[in-house]
């Protein structure tokens, strides 16, 4: 296993990070089996485990069980933002919610501190100064060691650093964006901005939500009622015109992986960690077999010729699908943010 420094924190993290989104009711409901998967990953040299409060409502509990007796050797990362129950103030990035929810995460994880506390998505109802202020206070209180953001647009990452400097607050040390061969949009601005500010980058979904697992191929029927396709069927339905390019790219990538002498998942993960801005790729196995298959390629390094071939199949900066289905910018979803009041339009 290879290791890199996480941004400017001085914390050494493995190039593969264990993601635990599939632990619990959404993926693997067997807590004991999930604990075995965590232990196997740690035994193979992975030293960073990533979870979130909202993952099945169980993932943090499972991770806490798995880390008993091994906590000091693990870089533990979790997240806050998405709603955790009913009510208008049980989610978001406010001081009120973060102060409350960090205590809940600590309780579920069975630990006194969190190494990396990440804001899961932007919250345009909360001033970024408010969020950075409470996170800075949590560092001083010893409850978290560092904090970062996840799936933030480049302009909001840059704004957060400007605010932190002006207000003398702690700054986001990391960003956790979606990144895969099929979703390269962050190469345009997010990754360069992270490099500019010396941020660590932990990329999620290097297998494109399972599309690069090798299970979904041109001409094969896809069961949209189970597994990943059941969560986002529109991404996997071969009958939809928007998926034609993805299936075609997968066929070319399978052929390329055969030439390299690796599996498609190994090729996909190795691609993400080849980018100079990326610190670690999050792999999210549901089973022990999936973990073992992904770790077989942990030492794989792609040469320039292979990366050039990938660029030909999916050009740099190109998204063949929208990688973040859990959040959309309010300026796109709220029509009132895109339209002048009718009276103003009529008078123009």
DSSP calls for 192-225: HHHHHTT-EEEEB-TTTTTTTSS---TTS---TT
55 in catalytic set: yes
pLDDT tens digits, 159-193: 999 999 999 999 999 999 999 999 999 999 999 99
> Measured between alpha carbons, how far is residue 211 from residues 20, 38, 344 in Å?
18, 24, 47
Alpha helices in the chain (DSSP H): 31-43, 59-66, 95-109, 128-140, 154-167, 190-196, 227-231, 233-236, 244-260, 264-273, 288-295, 304-313, 330-333, 342-347
| 3-class secondary-structure state, position 319 | strand
* 106, two tokens: 């600590």
Buried b (16+ CB within 10 A) or exposed e, 237-264: ebeeeebeebbebbeebbebbeebebbb
Phi, psi at residue 183, to the nearest 5°? -135, 85
Q: What's the confidence (pLDDT) of residue 262?
A: 96
Going 311 to 231 to 21 to 174, the CA torsion angle's sign is positive
Q: What's the confidence (pLDDT) of residue 348?
A: 63
Q: Cα separation of 82 and 90, whole Å? A: 8
Q: Cα separation of 164 and 170, whole Å? A: 6
**Torsion, CA 157, CA 159, CA 165, CA 168, rounded to 10:** -90
Q: What's the confidence (pLDDT) of residue 326?
A: 67
CB 132 within 8 A of CB 159: no
Q: What's the confidence (pLDDT) of residue 106?
A: 98
Q: Which of 55, 117, 216, 321 is flagged as catalytic?
A: 55
Closest CA relative to residue 27, chosen from 222, 230, 176: 230
What is the CB neighbour count within 10 angstroms for residue 279? 25
**Torsion, CA 48, CA 52, CA 58, CA 62, rounded to 10:** 10
Q: What's the confidence (pLDDT) of residue 69?
A: 96
CB 71 within 8 A of CB 112: no
Closest CA relative to residue 34, chosen from 288, 334, 265: 288
* 265, two tokens: 């998942």
Q: What is the CATH number of domain 3-347?
A: 3.20.20.100
Phi, psi at residue 327, to the nearest 5°? -155, 140
Q: What's the confidence (pLDDT) of residue 141?
A: 98
Please give the distance of CA 331 from its chain centroid, rounded to a whole number: 23
What is the CB neighbour count within 10 angstroms for residue 15? 21
Q: Cα separation of 191 and 38, whole Å? A: 29
Q: What's the confidence (pLDDT) of residue 320?
A: 94
* 71, two tokens: 């906590």
List per-block mean pLDDT (blocks of 10 residues) for the chain, which spans 348 residues.
Answer: 95 97 94 98 98 94 98 97 92 98 98 98 97 98 98 97 98 98 97 98 95 86 78 82 91 97 96 98 96 91 98 97 79 84 78
Q: Which residue has the tokens 């090798």?
A: 214
pTM of the model: 0.93
Q: Cα separation of 207 and 311, whole Å? A: 17
Q: What's the confidence (pLDDT) of residue 41?
A: 98
CB 301 within 8 A of CB 271: no
């Amino acid at each position: 296993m290879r290791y890199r420094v996480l941004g400017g924190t001085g914390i050494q993290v493995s190039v593969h990070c264990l993601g635990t989104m599939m632990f619990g009711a959404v993926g693997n409901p067997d807590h004991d089996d999930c604990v075995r998967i965590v232990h196997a990953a740690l035994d193979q040299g992975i030293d960073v485990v990533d979870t979130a409060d909202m993952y099945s409502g169980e993932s943090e509990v499972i991770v806490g069980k798995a880390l008993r007796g091994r906590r000091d050797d693990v870089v533990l990362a979790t997240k806050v933002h998405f709603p955790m129950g009913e009510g208008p103030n049980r989610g978001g990035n406010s001081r009120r919610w973060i102060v409350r929810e960090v205590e809940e995460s600590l309780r579920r994880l069975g630990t006194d501190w969190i190494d990396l506390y990440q804001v899961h998505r932007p919250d345009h109802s909360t001033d970024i100064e408010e969020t950075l202020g409470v996170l800075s206070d949590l560092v001083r209180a010893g409850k978290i060691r560092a904090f970062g953001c996840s799936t933030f647009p480049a302009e909001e990452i840059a704004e957060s650093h400007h605010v932190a400097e002006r207000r003398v607050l702690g700054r986001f040390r990391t960003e956790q964006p979606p990144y895969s061969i099929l979703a390269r949009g962050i190469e345009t601005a997010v990754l360069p901005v992270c490099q500019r500010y010396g941020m660590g980058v932990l990329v999620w979904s290097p297998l494109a939500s399972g599309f690069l697992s090798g299970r979904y191929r041109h001409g094969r029927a896809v069961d949209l009622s189970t597994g990943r396709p059941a969560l986002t069927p529109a991404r996997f339905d071969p009958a939809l015109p928007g998926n034609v390019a993805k299936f075609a790219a997968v066929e070319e990538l399978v052929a390329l992986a055969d030439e390299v002498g690796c599996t498609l998942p190994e090729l996909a993960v190795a691609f993400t960690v080849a980018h100079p801005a990326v610190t670690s790729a999050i792999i999210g196995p549901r089973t022990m077999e999936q973990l073992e298959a992904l770790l077989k390629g942990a030492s794989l390094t792609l040469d320039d010729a292979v990366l050039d071939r990938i660029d030909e199949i999916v050009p740099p900066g190109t998204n063949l699908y929208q990688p973040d289905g859990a959040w959309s910018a309010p300026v796109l979803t709220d029509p009132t943010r895109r339209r002048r009041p009718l009276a103003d339009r009529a008078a123009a």
